[in-house]
Amino acid sequence: MINSEKSGTAKSQNKNIKIKSIFGLGKGLSLEEITPDKYLLSQNFEILEEKISDKKFKVTRTASGQSKTVSLEPEESTKRTLKTHELKQLAEYALKLEEYFQSPQEIQFAIENNITYILQTKPATKEPLPQEEILPIIPTKTQIKIAIEGPEELAQAKEIHAQEIGPIRLEKIILSKGKHPLFYEKNSTLGEYKTLLKENLIKITSLLPETPMQILLPSFEEEDLSNLAGSPKNHSEETKIKFSLSHPEIFKTELRAIKEASKENKPEIILPQVSSVKEITKTYEILKKLKMEDFALGITVETPSIPILIKDICATKISSISFNTKTLAKLTLATNNPTLEDEISWAVLKQISRTLRECKSQGVKTSIHGESVKNPEMLKFLIKQKIDSISTKPSEANKISNLIQRLETNFQIEPINNKEEIKRELEELKQAEAKPTVNNQQPTATNPEESTESFETIEQAKEDSEESKKEDIFS
C-alpha cells in the first residue's frame, strides 16, 4: 500500500496538460478544506500557468491503516507540492496514455520516496475551450499597466488594447526549462540561455510591437530554487541584483538577450531588490560596455534602504521605480508571510509616501505591482499620493480601473432612488471631507484607515513648517 507524500490528478485536454496536486493521500482532493495546487503545461512540457495554494491540511495513514487529517504549518502549507521534473514526468505520462488509448486521459498519481506511481487512468471528460471575456480598461488619470506572466495574459493584454506592458518577469521563462542560470554557466552553455530568453522575448515584442514594455530581471522565490537544476544552495544570502552583479557573465547574457530581441521597441530594464546606489551605478557601467546606454533603467522598491536613500537613488537618473509591497513589508516588519494588512501598515505607507514625494520632485516615474493593488485601502492611499501608474493582470484591469476612476473623481455619489440612502451617503461624504486638526506632533494612529485619511494633511503641514528644514529620514 502506497503511503503517498503527495498525490493528485493529471489530465490531457485541448493539447495541454492540467495537473492538480496536494500533500498526503489522494483522499484529500475530495475535502473542501484542501485547495490543490494547479498547473498547466504545454505539449512541450513548458509550464504555462502555476497557482500555488495554501493547502492547510493533508490526509495521512496511521500505523493501523486508518486515514487521518492533520494540519500543516504555514511554512509547509504554502509550499509548491511538485518539483519541475515531476510536473514534466506527469505531463509525459498523460500524453503517452492519451496516445495509447487514442483519447484524452485523466490519471490519478501518488509520489512516495521520489517515485511516481500511476494509480489509475480513465477517459477525460471533455471541457469547452475557455470563452472568458476580458472587460476593457476604463479610462483613468492614473495609468494602468498590464503585468504579464504567461502567453495567455499577453493575448488578453492585446485584446483590451493595453497601453503599456510591465513588468514582464524573466524568471517565468527560465522556470519553464527547469534550469537555473548557474546551470548554463557551469556547463558553458550560456549561448543556449541567451537563445531561450531571446526567442521568448521576440514572441512578446512581435505581438505588441509598438507598446512600451518593462522587463523585470530574474527574481526567483525560495520555493522556485529547489526545482531548478544547478540552483545554488545558499542563494538566499544574496538579494536579486546582488546575484546578477556577482555573476557578470550571466547578467551580460540576459542583457544581450533583451538587446537582440528589441531592436526597434526598446523596453525599460527593471532591477529587482536594489538596496544601494552602487548597484545601480555598476549596472550602468555594464550597460555602457554592451552599448545599451539608450535603454531606460528602473528599479523595484523592496528593501527599506531605498526610501532612506531615495534622493541619491533618483540622482543616478533612473527612469522609474515600482513598489513590491509584499517584500517591502516582509523586510520592514521582519515577517516571513506578510498579509495584505501588513502591506498597508503605517511603517510601510510612510516609506511609500516619502519615496513618491522625492520621485515626483525629480521627475522619476512611479508605479506599483503585486497583489496589494487589489486592496481598496492601498489604492485609496496611492491615488491620494498621486502615484503615476498601477500594474495589474488583464483579468483585474477593468475592476481596478473602475475603482481608480471613482477615487479620482473624489467619490462622487452614483444616482440612486432611495432618498434615505442619499442622505446617508451625503453625510458620509461630508464627514470624509472634514479636515482633522493639524499639530506638530508625530501622528499616532495605528489603524491603517486612520493613517491614510490623515496622512496627506499632516505631511503637508510638516513641509510648511520650519521644522521641515531639519533633516528627518522619514518626513
Neighbours of 363 (CB within 10 A): 9
Can you say whether the dihedral through the CA atoms of 19, 20, 22, 27 is positive or negative? Answer: negative
Q: Helices 394-408 & 151-159, crossing angle to 10 degrees?
A: 50
Q: Residue 132: pLDDT band by 50, 70, 90 thresholds?
A: low
By C-alpha distance, which of 334, 333, 331 is closest to 346? Answer: 333
Question: Is the model's pLDDT at 310 over the cut of 50?
Answer: yes
pTM: 0.63
Please report the pLDDT score of residue 235 as a whole number: 57
Higher-pLDDT residue of 149, 216: 216
CATH 3.20.20.60 domain residues, the chain: 143-408
Higher-pLDDT residue of 346, 410: 346
**Which CATH fold topology does 6-123 show?**
D-amino Acid Aminotransferase; Chain A, domain 1 (3.30.470)
Q: What is the mean pLDDT of the chain?
A: 82
Please report the pLDDT score of residue 285 as a whole number: 97
Question: Is the model's pLDDT at 110 over the cut of 80?
Answer: yes
Please report the pLDDT score of residue 444 as a whole number: 39
Which tens digits make up the pLDDT trace of 176-206? 788 889 999 999 999 999 999 999 888 888 8
The three grid cell numbers given for residue 343, joined into one nine-digit string: 502591506
CATH 3.30.470.20 domain residues, the chain: 6-123
Please report the pLDDT score of residue 123 as a whole number: 86
**Which CATH fold topology does 143-408 show?**
TIM Barrel (3.20.20)
Please report the pLDDT score of residue 173 as a whole number: 85
Which tens digits make up the pLDDT trace of 345-401? 999 999 999 999 999 999 999 999 988 898 889 999 999 999 999 999 888 899 999
Instruction: Give the lowest-confidence range in 145-154, 214-223, 375-384.
Output: 145-154
What are phi and psi for residue 48, nearest 5 degrees? -90, -40
Please report the pLDDT score of residue 148 as a whole number: 82
Which tens digits make up the pLDDT trace of 440-467? 444 334 444 434 434 444 444 444 444 3
